[in-house]
Homo-oligomer: A and B are copies of this chain.
Amino acid sequence: MNISVEALKSGVLSGDTRALAKVITLFESARPDHREMANELLSQLLPHSGQSLRLAISGSPGVGKSTFIEAFGEQLLSAGHRLAVLAVDPSSPISGGSILGDRIRMESLSRHPDVFIRPSPAGKMLGGTARRTREAIIACEAAGFDRICVETVGVGQSETLAASMTDLFVLLYLPNSGDDVQGIKRGILELADFVVITKADGALITAANLAKSQIEQALMLTRGTSHYPPQVFTVSSITGEGIAELGEALLATAKDRQGSGFFANKRRQQSLAWFRSEFIDQIVADADRKLADDAEAIRAEVENSTVAPSVAARKLISKILKK
């Protein structure tokens, strides 16, 4: 990467999306010299970040995330906002389709100068993608994007990761069976601030309304200790029905929780959790690198039951001290 930290920094701060894209590519790199530049940039961009509203947009492939983001995005743009769309799933570009597909699906958005769309890099580990997305949020904010959507199709733990880096979690849901609460992955309803039933138009209107009342009922039963129960909406990206109301509810909720200090506190907790997980990831990665030569033999002993696993771990770790 033949470009200085200084040039990238001033590019990002001036809102240049090409510089922003380069910085995110730098964040994705595993090369030690790139990581050093990335850390330097992060430190310099951090004071210019934090001013956006961060939304997680979650839902299975086909639920209509791109269509929803496009409709919602138009609304944000006409109110003068700048929108960045990032993805958290590993090796799965936005909407689970190809990068080309995304560009096509979000066509009118992607051509807008106040929009930045960045799919996931292919073939990365979930942990690595989480770090890259969290760091990309900081860079987007420093570049003046004040609305961030973090998209996830819900592979593995990706919803939990998306929730861990955003202020509000929006779960998109397509009614399909008449047994709608069953259709929602367990544990996800607990993450949601908004449940949005999509494609509530044409023949699906009845199913959408049924799903809404089933989900609301389930939420009444399970709300438990949650401070804020999720709000349930039906929308149609085709007719536009419900999108404006949802947008207003999202922003009203955000304003409320900003005012009360809820978001600030949530972000502090998120930062500490991120710090802890980075600490563990980096400590273990360092140790794995240092011990690569010794690990294989000890693993074989563990497999053959010639050493107890907890003893083997101590044995392997003690070799670090001798390096």
Please report A residues at the B interface, Cβ cutoff 8 Å. Answer: 39, 42-43, 46, 50, 131, 134-135, 138, 182, 186-187, 267-268, 271-272, 274-275, 278-284, 286-287, 298-299, 302-303, 305-314, 316-317
Q: Give chain A's interface secondary structure class.
A: helix
Contact A307 B46 (CB under 8 A): yes
Q: Are A317 and B42 in contact (CB under 8 A)?
A: no
Given A186-B186, A275-B302, A302-B275, A39 and B314 contact (CB-CB distance below 8 Å): yes
From B39, B278, B307, B313, contact of A282 by CB (8 A): B313
Residues of B with C-beta under 8 A to A278: 309-310, 312-314
Q: How far is the CB of A50 from chain B (nearest CB, A)?
A: 6
B residues near A46, Cβ cutoff 8 Å: 305-308
Contacts of A317 in B (CB 8 A): 279, 282-283, 286
Complex-state Cα separation, A308 to B43, whole angstroms? 6
Q: Write out the residue numbers on chain B whose beta carbons fall within 8 Å of the beta carbon of A313.
A: 275, 278-279, 281-282
Question: Contact between B308 and A42 (Cβ–Cβ < 8 Å)?
Answer: yes
- Chain B, Cβ-Cβ closest to A138: B308
Point out the residues of chain B lying under 8 angstroms from A298, CB to CB.
275
Using A279-B316, A283-B287, A317-B283 as known contacts, say yes or no to A271 and B131 having CB atoms under 8 A apart: no
Chain B neighbourhood of A309, CB < 8 A: 134, 271-272, 274-275, 278
Residues of B within 8 A of A286 (CB): 317
B310 lies within 8 A of A274 (CB):
yes
A275 and B296 CA atoms in complex are apart in Å by 12
Select A311's contact among B43, B268, B314, beta carbons within 8 Å. B43
In the complex the two chains form, what is the Cα distance from A169 to B187 in whole Å?
23
In the complex, what distance in Å separates the CA atom of A116 from the CA atom of B66?
Answer: 59
How distant is the Cα of A283 from the Cα of B298 in the complex, in angstroms? 16
A71 to nearest B CB, angstroms?
A: 32
Question: Does A272 contact B310, Cβ atoms closer than 8 Å?
Answer: no
Which residue of B284, B302, B316 is within 8 Å of A272 (Cβ)? B302
Docked pose: A312 CA to B282 CA in angstroms: 11
**In this complex, what residue of B is CB-closest to A181?**
B182
A39, B311: Cβ atoms closer than 8 Å: yes
Among A42, A186, A310, chain B packs the most CB atoms within 10 A around the CB of: A310
The smallest beta-carbon distance between A190 and chain B, in angstroms, is 12
Q: Which residue of B lies closest to A187 (CB)?
A: B186
Determine the residue in chain B with the shortest Cβ distance to A42. B308
Bound CA span A268–B309, Å: 11
Inter-chain contacts of A314 with B (CB < 8 A): 39, 278, 282
The one of B186, B284, B312 in contact with A283, judged by C-beta atoms closer than 8 angstroms, is: B284
The answer to whether A271 and B303 touch across the interface, beta carbons within 8 angstroms, is: yes
Most chain B CB inside 10 Å of its own CB: which residue of A43, A287, A311: A311
Cβ–Cβ contact A283 & B283, under 8 A: yes
What's the Cα separation between A281 and B278 when bound, in Å? Answer: 15
Residues of B within 8 Å of A281, CB to CB, are: 313
